[in-house]
Structure 1
Amino acid sequence: MRPILYLFLAAAMAVTACGGPSGNNVSRPTDAADTSKGTWPVMTFEKESHNFGNVTEGEVVEYSFKFTNTGNRDLLITKAEASCGCTVPEWPKEPLKPGESGFMKVKFDSKGRPEGYTEKELYIQANTNPAMINGPKIQCVIVAKK
């Protein structure tokens, strides 16, 4: 009987220590992503990839991917990164309302990159469902300096 009592007391302490199921320490969805209504911001890109063609080694190229919030709540991008440090994304820091568009600018620095085909993908963290988005890709063929 005592092991059951100890188990019950341990469970009760754990629930109260964490604020309980309706306590203050339990994270709640924000208005931007209200799970009770089943609505989320949706990040929809106009193009899924951009090919720069031939890029001379050492050249820096950039492209801006247009996207629209096609969801029902404000879209807030909290982080964006690429599959390589040679590719740097820039994004709007302010929330985009449903129907609004923005641009994800991507700079690719080919300095020190090996010759041949390369492809880099963007990874975006936002208040979407799921929170991590595999974003658009850039491609190019790096050619040697002449």
Structure 2
Amino acid sequence: MKTLKLSLFAVAGALFLSFSANAQQVAKKDVKTSSVPVKAAVAPAAATPVDQKPTGLTFKEEVYSFGDIEKGKPVTHEFTFKNTSKQTILLTNVKASCGCTTPTWTKTPIKPGESGNVTATYNAANEGAFTKTITVTANDTEQNKVLTIKGKVNPGAAVVAPANGPTQQ
């Protein structure tokens, strides 16, 4: 009697597992064969920025090159923009890509047709070429504007010691 109960329990368990595995295969097959609804639902999430509502900020320029600059002398550039939307815009966040760049920006609401600015100051402490970005977030859209500064930091003027005097380090 005990063996019969164990056998029935084993058969019931096996049937349950086979039904469960079959149900999973059918569900996977349904997902693979229903291409139109699934892809249509996935496509907007991976949409390109063209599909998004553009920001109402129109910058005079979005990339600025300082060219060659001297090491140890910070440089600053002001990016100006105009509110080309029909609503008041507020810059909610402006963030530089690294600590060597410090942004400041218009913190008051910008009405339609008015202008504002984002100023980027780059600390030219390290020699070599650089490209840094400043991400501007406004309240009018989820799409950010990315401003870019670039240039090349050259060594500063070398200190030349007198011919017969001590050298400076």
Using the size of structure 2 for normalisation, the TM-score is 0.58
Instruction: Give the alignment partner of residue 100 of structure 2, picking from 86, 105, 115.
Output: 86
For 1:90-129, list aligned pairs within 5 A.
Answer: 90-111=104-125, 113=126, 115-129=127-141
Q: Is the 8 A contact 2:55 2:144 kept in 1?
A: no
Q: Provide structure 1 residue ranges, at least 5 long, that are not aligned to the other structure.
A: 1-38
Question: Residues of 1 paired with 2:100 and 2:130: CA distance?
Answer: 11
Q: Which runs of 4+ in 1 moved over 6 A?
A: none
1:61-98 per-residue CA deviation (whole Å, 9 max, x = no partner) reads 00111101111110101110111111111111110001
Give structure 2 stretches of 5+ with no counterpart: 1-52, 158-169
Question: What is the identity, as a one-letter code, of the residue corresponding to 2:134?
Answer: L
> Which residue does the alignment assign to 2:146?
135
In structure 1, C-alpha distance between the alignment counterparts of 2:129 and 2:140, rounded to whole Å: 32
For residue 111 of structure 2, what is the amino acid of its counterpart? K
RMSD of aligned residue pairs (Cα, Å): 1.7
1:76, 1:96 within 8 Å by CA — same for their partners in 2?
yes
Residue 73 (structure 1) aligns with? 87
8 Å CA contact 1:77–1:93 kept in 2: the answer is yes
Matches within 5 A, 1:5-16: none
Report the counterpart of residue 49 of structure 1 in structure 2.
63
Q: Higher relative contact order at CA 8 Å, sep ≥6: structure 1 or structure 2?
A: 1
Instruction: Please report the TM-score for the alignment, with normalisation by the length of structure 1.
Output: 0.67
Q: What fraction of aligned residue pairs are identical, expressed as a percent? A: 33
